[in-house]
Amino acid sequence: MSARGTAPAASRALPLRAELRRQLGRRRTRLSFLFLLLLPLLLVGAFALGDGGSDGGGASFVDLAQTGAPNLVVFTLFASTGFLLVVLAALFHGDAVPSEASWSSLRYLLTAPVPRGRLLTVKLAAASLTTLVALVVLPLWTLLVGLVAYGTEPYRGLAGETIGWADFWPRLAIAVAYLFVNLFFVAGLSFLVGTITDAPLGAVGSAVLVTIVSSILDTIDALGDLREALPTHFQFAWAGVLTSDVDYAPLATGATWSLGWALLLVGASYVLFARKDVLS
């Protein structure tokens, strides 16, 4: 076949829609989303088994979580940011390429022909979209659960400020968007390791371990401003949009660092995978 005929065939190979459909249909994806759906139900059940807390007027974050649906959403996102969302992003991205190797289909894909660059691009896009879907499903489902369990009271902050529903929606959207961007480091690192190893667990575990180490280092005040370069330093910056005086500077700084790390890690993924021997 001529080069002119090969190029269109390669561009049509491995369409994003098909890859996304396959990723969403995988068992580990279904189980991940099942856990996301169970999480707010487990939280409501745990709150119900407690001593009932206060009437919502105190400073307890747990008490405020029971004052209305918006507060339950914020509590769930806060509880998920440091670990659960990290694991999900690492799982979706770290398993993207190694899964093909474990199924012995990676060689076939690259000789179909599917150019290596296109393979990585489609895999990365499908994993990122799956992560985004999870980030959208979690607060929306939690909001529905919260409406049934705690009613339609507006969001109430720890300082006593109140955010009405009209203002809460755009702020929630900003928080979710920032969480997605902040997970770029985890996505990039797990994706990079996944292009090096054929073991999905190694790719996922490496990203989670580095994130945990970063969180530990972030507690060391002696590091000073160097902590801003840590991928977890600004992971909770999204909470700033739910205050009376919103400061977008931490979000901008955190997003910039996350994008920088992601570009470096994903770029390394393409370079290393282009040189990797997967056809022997």
List pLDDT tens digits, range 103-141.
445 554 555 566 778 888 999 999 999 999 999 999 999
Please enumerate, as own/partner, the contacts of 247-253 that have beta carbons within 8 Å and a separation of 24 or more: 251/174, 251/178, 253/228
Question: Is residue 86 pLDDT above 60, yes or no?
Answer: yes
Question: Is residue 156 pLDDT above 70, yes or no?
Answer: yes
Q: Is position 22 within any domain?
A: yes
Q: Is 187 within 8 Å of 131 (Cβ atoms)? A: yes
Which one is predicted more confidently, 203 or 160? 203
| Pairing state between β 155-156 and 162-163 | antiparallel
Amino acid identity at 226: L
Q: Is 183 within 8 Å of 214 (Cβ atoms)? A: no
Question: Is residue 56 pLDDT above 60, yes or no?
Answer: no
> pLDDT at position 25, please?
85
Q: Is position 280 within any domain?
A: no
Q: Is position 111 within any domain?
A: yes
Model pLDDT for residues 57-73, shown as the tens digit of each residue: 455 678 889 999 999 99
Mean pLDDT of 27-41: 94
Indicate the range of 44-53, 78-87, 103-112 predicted with least confidence. Answer: 103-112
Q: Is position 266 within any domain?
A: yes
> pLDDT at position 61, please?
77
> pLDDT at position 21, please?
87
In terms of residue numbers, what domain contains 51? 3-275
Total number of residues shown for the chain: 280
Q: Is 88 within 8 Å of 133 (Cβ atoms)? A: no
Model pLDDT for residues 165-197, shown as the tens digit of each residue: 999 999 999 999 999 999 999 999 999 999 988
Q: Is 154 within 8 Å of 50 (Cβ atoms)? A: no
> pLDDT at position 19, please?
83
Question: Is residue 5 pLDDT above 50, yes or no?
Answer: no
Q: Is position 184 within any domain?
A: yes
Please enumerate, as own/partner, the contacts of 106-114 that have beta carbons within 8 Å and a separation of 24 or more: 106/278, 107/278, 107/279, 109/14, 110/278, 110/279, 111/279, 112/13, 112/14, 113/6, 113/9, 113/10, 113/13, 114/10, 114/13, 114/14
Question: Is residue 277 pLDDT above 80, yes or no?
Answer: no
> pLDDT at position 278, please?
57
Q: What is the 3-state secondary structure (H, E, C) of 5-53?
A: HHHHHHHHCCCHHHHHHHHHCCHHHHHHHHHHHHHHHHHHHHHHHCCCC
Instruction: Give the C-alpha separation, 27 to 8, whole Å.
Output: 33
How many structural domains comprise the chain? 1
Q: Is position 171 within any domain?
A: yes
Token readout for 236 is 């909770």
Per DSSP, the three-state class of 279 is coil
